[in-house]
Structure 1
Amino acid sequence: MPLSPEQQAEIDDLRARPQPTLRSTAPGMEGHLYTAYPVLDHGFVRVVDYMGDDAAICQAARVSYGKGTKSVSNDEGLIRYLMRHWHSTPFEMCEIKLHVKLPVFVARQWIRHRTANVNEYSARYSILDREFYIPAPEHVAAQSTVNNQGRGELLEGAEAARVLEILKADSARAYDNYEAMISQDGQQGLARELARMNLPANIYTQWYWKVDLHNLFHFLRLRADAHAQYEIRVYAEEICKLVADWVPFAYRAFEDYRMGGATLSATALDCIRRMVKGEEVTQETSGMSKGEWREFMQVVG
């Protein structure tokens, strides 16, 4: 199950004892605090704490104290300006701390974003739970023939069933051996820090992940993208929902300029200007490689 009884009891207790505060709060985020949102078969994402809101971004940009006489519309316009012109430090004034339960192989992708503070569940100190990620049949696919790091067509029938059975059997066998090695029933038992190395990468781990909004947006731009691996994308998509309620102005600007926008090279801009003038531009006359031209055409349609 996503949450242990102890974790659920802690969450229920925290939500039952709201604390008064003088700091700025975001009503949308207050409703999410401590709640665990399920992801994949055993995972979750939950907000443990946060700092700042849309107003904090504007306050930092204006280097002022308080909201002053600026209107809400001016705040949104300022945030859009900051996003449009790639100003980063005002967005760093907001932070969020998440508790995430995720498969180890997803964690290894996630940790490549080296711009957060992370504290992971210790398998040297504690015993890992018997929980493994097993993909749903609609996510069991062959290697892509056009993308060396992606998936292609779905596996079907007997082949899909065979793959899923191997994943389940190997996971169960590895955990059985893990338990047998650390058991102290009639033996000393292998140290947990050694026994863990026999566990597969689809076993679940947990961590606290604290990141500022600027770096969180960078993470989401890459991992909530349609080309990201499904198993990390679903976590990013769940986090997107939280951020949209936390800093709605900033998130709308992020969606517009980062998720929905495109960065064009000088060569690409020159091609667009030529096209607008009525010139027929081809890959051969564009000055782009075949790969660049293919990506350019995906942007301009």
Structure 2
Amino acid sequence: MSDIRFRSDVTVELVKHSASDTDVLWAARVSTRGEQSLDETRKDPERSTGLINFLMRDRHGTPFEHNSMTFLVSAPLFVFREFHRHRVGWSYNEESGRYRELAPVFYLPAEDRRLVQRGRPGKYEFVSGSPEQHKIVTEALQESYRRSYHAYQEMLRAGVAREVARAALPVGLFSSMYATCNARSLMHFLSLRTQHEDATVPSFPQREIEMVAEQMERQWAELMPLTHAAFAKHGRVAP
């Protein structure tokens, strides 16, 4: 049996982009300047922070769509099942268990991952688990992963098709996908999948998808710092 690996992290790599604050400016100014709006591509966007803040504040959203970012994400399957609920402005291509043998890489919560849920649905919080609870989670998941991957390999060795054998694998298995979006769709994702004290509308995401969102936000902020600053300033609400 292949060596099983356990991970507590996720990775996000920006593999391709065409995204800058200037893209917002020429897209917005076409409404008043027509073809002369192309002049914005040669200007310093710092001179137009007021316009970007106006667009964000008053929720004129379409100028934030004229850009593109493609990320390579490595995360557990259960993260992708949540991620794919974001459909508008997103495109996905994910690793396929029909066409390749899936690697034995599985998710284990880190020691600082809060394990215990208190309260009723819609009004609850997560608190840190005890050392005993962390031990139970770690040992139970490791045993489950080993058994499921052994069953998967056993079926493959017997000649069972990959698309059938994969049914034995759990949602803690790592997968990879390309995710492409624009700044507006990314802001909507961030507003729902990060918990932030400056957010106008509170959100309570699962920690593992928040880990993906935090990495995406850091990389986007480097590409479009003025747009990101306006997003943060105006309550982290997508325009």
Q: TM-score normalised to the size of structure 2?
A: 0.84
Which secondary structure does the structure 1 equivalent of 2:27 belong to?
A: helix
Partners of 1:169 and 1:140 in 2: how far apart?
A: 21
Larger Rg: 1
Alignment match, 1:208: 178
Deviation >2 Å, runs of 4+:
40-43, 68-74, 146-155, 157-160
Alignment match, 1:52: 19
One-letter amino acid matched to 1:122? S
What is the correspondence of 1:127-166 to structure 2 with a 5 Å cutoff? 127-147=101-121, 151-166=125-140
User: How far 1:176 sits from its partner (Å)?
Assistant: 1.0
Residues 45, 239 of structure 1: 8 Å contact kept: yes
Partners of 2:112 and 2:10 in 1: how far apart?
A: 18
Alignment match, 2:33: none
Moved more, 58-67 or 146-155: 146-155
User: How far 1:158 sits from its partner (Å)?
Assistant: 2.6
Residues 103, 204 of structure 1: 8 Å contact kept: yes
One-letter amino acid matched to 1:199? L
One-letter amino acid matched to 1:216? L
What is the correspondence of 1:275-290 to structure 2 with a 5 Å cutoff? none
User: How far 1:211 sits from its partner (Å)?
Assistant: 0.6
Residues 24, 52 of structure 2: 8 Å contact kept: yes
One-letter amino acid matched to 2:126? G
Q: 2:97 aligns with which of 120, 123, 139?
A: 123
Q: TM-score normalised to the size of structure 1?
A: 0.68
Alignment match, 2:75: 102
Partners of 1:247 and 1:165 in 2: how far apart?
A: 43
Alignment match, 1:257: 234
Alignment match, 1:41: 8
Residues 131, 203 of structure 1: 8 Å contact kept: yes
User: How far 1:143 sits from its partner (Å)?
Assistant: 2.3
Structure with the largest fraction of strand: 2
- CA RMSD of the aligned region, Å? 2.0
Alignment match, 1:235: 212
One-letter amino acid matched to 1:47? L
Residues 43, 101 of structure 1: 8 Å contact kept: yes
Alignment partner of 1:81 is 2:54: yes
Residues 43, 204 of structure 1: 8 Å contact kept: no
Relative contact order, higher structure (CA 8 A, sep 6+):
2
User: How far 1:247 sits from its partner (Å)?
Assistant: 0.3
Residues 150, 229 of structure 1: 8 Å contact kept: no
Over 3 Å counting, the alpha-carbon distance change for 1:156 and 1:125 in structure 2 is: same
Aligned length: 217
One-letter amino acid matched to 2:151? N
